[in-house]
Amino acid sequence: MDRSKEKIGVLISEPELKKRVKELAQEISSDYEGRDLLLIGVLKGSFVFLADLMRNMDYHVSVDFMGTSSYGDSTKSSGEVRITKDLEKSVAGRHVLLVEDIVDTGLTLRYLLDTLRTRQPASLRVCTLLDKPARRRVRVSLDYYGFIIPNSFVVGYGLDYDEQFRGLPFVGVLEEF
């Protein structure tokens, strides 16, 4: 990639992210009041969102991670999903909230939900920072979402293009690259 040609437009600013993440954390906390909650972050994209979400929640919330990768190039999902890192502990009987960076085709989420459901958690819900409904290929219900975004490729706040831009403090659109 020729870095001199990179142009990134801000789609969701740092203050907007901060405000919305705090609201989501409060909503989730009140919904799960009195229950032990396990957040499962989907690597790698969700780690920034998850860290901010968690720091706005009760400190008894626990966390684990799953890694997935979909075969295909970096901007298009092929539909085939595979688990590259599994959970450390059993989720049986636990209240699980799956934390995603973005739901695009929905194929990754569908696969993860199907997989986790067979492990019999007490409950299983989804929280995604971004929802990009334009390219949805399978129906998935999102219990919590931060922002609905248009059909463009976004980076930053954990999301990457070819492993770059994850550290940007805002969500941006790659305009020229």
Residues within the interface to Mg ion (CB under 5 A): 42, 45, 101
Distance, in Å, from the CA atom of 125 to the CA atom of 84, rounded to the nearest integer, reads 21
Please say which residue, 45 or 172, places its beta carbon nearer to Mg ion.
45
Distance, in Å, from the CA atom of 14 to the CA atom of 16, rounded to the nearest integer, reads 5
Question: Beta strand pairing status for 95-103 and 37-43?
Answer: parallel
Query: Is 138 within 8 Å of 108 (Cβ atoms)?
Result: no
Q: According to CB under 6 A, which one of 11, 28, 40, 45 is a site residue for ligand IMP?
A: 45
Look up residue 123 and give its two tokens: 């409950």
By CB under 6 A, residue 96 contacts ligand IMP: no
Mask of contacts with ligand IMP, 4-43, x by CB under 6 A? ----------------------------------------
Q: Which residues inside 146-165 make contact with ligand IMP, applying CB under 6 A?
A: 153-155, 159
* Catalytic machinery residues: 104
